[in-house]
Structure 1
Amino acid sequence: MNYQTVELHVDGQAAYLYLNRPNSLNAMDVQMISELTGALKEVVTSGAKVLFISGRGRAFSSGGDIKTMLSNNDPEAFFPIMEKIKELILTLYTMPAITVSLIHGAAAGLGLSFALASDYVYVQTNSKVAMNFIKIGLLPDGGGHYFMKKRLGEHQAKHVIWEGENLTPEKALQIGLVDAVFEGELEDQIQEAKQRIETRPLQAMIATKEIYTKQGLAELKETLDLETVNQSNMRKTADHLEGVKAFIEKRQPVFNAR
Structure 2
Amino acid sequence: MSINFITDKVNVKVIGRVATIEMNRPESLNAMDSEMIRGLVCKLKEISESDEIDIVVLRGKGRAFSAGGDIKSMLSNMTENDFYPVMDSISELIVTLYSMPKLTISAITGAAAGLGFSFALATDHIIAEKNSKLAMNFIGIGLIPDGGAHFFLEKKLGESKAKQVIWDGKMMDADEAFALGLIEEVAEANLQEALDARISDWLSRPVQAMIKTKKILADMHRPYLLKILELEKHSQQKMRETIDHQEGIKAFIEKRQPKFIGK
> TM-score, structure 2 length as denominator?
0.95
CA distance in 1, matches of 2:95, 2:10: 18
CA distance in 1, matches of 2:257, 2:80: 26
Provide the residue aligned with 1:17 in structure 2.
Answer: 21
Q: 1:32 aligns with which of 19, 36, 43?
A: 36
Q: 1:77 aligns with which of 75, 82, 88?
A: 82
Provide the residue aligned with 1:42 in structure 2.
Answer: 46
Q: Deviations over 1:140-191 (max 9, x none)?
A: 0000000000111110000000000001111111110110100333333332
Q: 1:181 aligns with which of 183, 186, 207?
A: 186
Give how far 1:37 is off.
Answer: 0.5
Does residue 110 of the first structure (1) align with residue 133 of the second (2)?
no
Give how far 1:75 is off.
Answer: 3.1
**Pairs aligned (count):** 258
CA distance in 2, matches of 1:189, 1:31: 31
CA distance in 2, matches of 1:205, 1:237: 44
Q: Is the 8 A contact 1:128 1:166 kept in 2?
A: yes
Q: Is the 8 A contact 1:10 1:43 kept in 2?
A: no
Q: Is the 8 A contact 1:103 1:121 kept in 2?
A: yes
Provide the residue aligned with 1:8 in structure 2.
Answer: 12
Structure 2: gaps (5+ residues): none
Give how far 1:218 is off.
Answer: 0.6
Give how far 1:72 is off.
Answer: 4.2
Q: 2:239 aligns with which of 234, 237, 250?
A: 234
Q: 2:133 aligns with which of 105, 128, 133?
A: 128
Give how far 1:130 is off.
Answer: 0.2
Give how far 1:122 is off.
Answer: 1.0
CA distance in 2, matches of 1:29, 1:111: 11
How many percent identity over aligned positions? 49
CA distance in 2, matches of 1:4, 1:42: 17
CA distance in 2, matches of 1:21, 1:183: 27
Structure 1: gaps (5+ residues): none
Q: 1:198 aligns with which of 200, 203, 226?
A: 203
Provide the residue aligned with 2:124 in structure 1.
Answer: 119
> TM-score, structure 1 length as denominator?
0.97
Which residue identity lines up with residue 12 of structure 1 in the other structure? G
Other structure's SS at 1:102 match: strand
Q: Deviations over 1:182-214 (max 9, x none)?
A: 033333333222111101110110111011101
CA distance in 1, matches of 2:30, 2:77: 19
Does residue 219 of the first structure (1) align with residue 224 of the second (2)?
yes
Q: Is the 8 A contact 2:127 2:195 kept in 1?
A: no
Give me the CA root mean square deviation. 1.1
